[in-house]
Amino acid sequence: MRRGFLTVILVAGLSAPALAQAPGSVPASPSSLSRQERNFIAEALADGMAEQALGKLAQDRAETEPVRRFARRMADDHGLKTDRLAGMALRHGIPIPRDPSLSARSHMSSLRDTPEGAFDRRYMAAEEETHARAIKLYEAQAERGGETGDFARDALPMLHSHFEEARGIMAELARGPAPPQTQAPPGDAPPGTSGSSE
């Protein structure tokens, strides 16, 4: 039951050494992967690490329960995905990033500085956009054979589910908080109907 161990190494502090070269790590055999497949693993691994880190940040900063739940799901789901990708990276001698990408670090810094009251919308808008981009990356890979194609096909339902959930939460946030309910006197038109009171 050590599936979370590698994720903790990669994400807690996000300063894992290049485990493929570490003494005692799984020896990397000469890779049979194409350059394109190696690039996919490296990009998907960096994206997954960023999603985990952002999910942890959002759990602390989120102002509404749906966004907090979504952020928790991102950290958990992308943690599992990152574990699988890291395993592939180790087997094929692909360096595991020490830190999130420069753009991910910049995005996290921007989210940390988001004024109160604006965090949820900014985080969810970014999640909708990044999942749309990830789906394109994974769909292209899913058309290929081999280990990376299988991995992409397995991961796509999860990414689509995240995207739809992000869209739903964004729509809910756009509607804003429900106006306070007031007790209407008998005979008044119910809220939402057009009719002017004299």
Q: 99 with 15: CB under 8 angstroms?
A: yes
Q: How far is the C-alpha of 191 from the C-alpha of 26, rounded, in Å?
A: 65
Q: Quote the distance between the C-alpha of residue 1 and its chain's center.
A: 23
Q: Reply yes or no on whether the pLDDT at 3 is more than 80.
A: no
User: Could you give the angle at which helices 35-61 and 65-91 cross, rounded to 10 degrees?
Assistant: 150
- 184 vs 58, more confident: 58
Q: Where are the domains of the chain?
A: 41-175
Q: Which CATH superfamily is domain 41-175 in?
A: Ferritin, core subunit, four-helix bundle (1.20.1260.10)
pLDDT tens-digit readout, 95-146: 988 777 778 888 888 888 889 889 999 999 999 999 999 999 999 999 998 9
Mean pLDDT in residue range 48-76: 94
Q: How far apart are CA 163 and CA 139, in angstroms?
A: 14
146-161 confidence digits (pLDDT tens): 999 999 999 999 999 9
In this structure, are residues 134 and 47 in contact, taking their beta carbons and an 8 Å threshold?
yes
CB neighbourhood size of 61 (10 A): 18
DSSP 189: P
What DSSP letter does each residue of 117-130 carry, written as one string? TTHHHHHHHHHHHH
Distance, CA of 7 to CA of 115 (rounded, Å): 30
Please report which residue ranges of 62-189 form alpha helices under DSSP H.
Answer: 65-91, 102-112, 119-142, 146-175
Q: What type of residue is 146?
A: G
Q: Is the pLDDT score of 185 beyond 50?
A: no
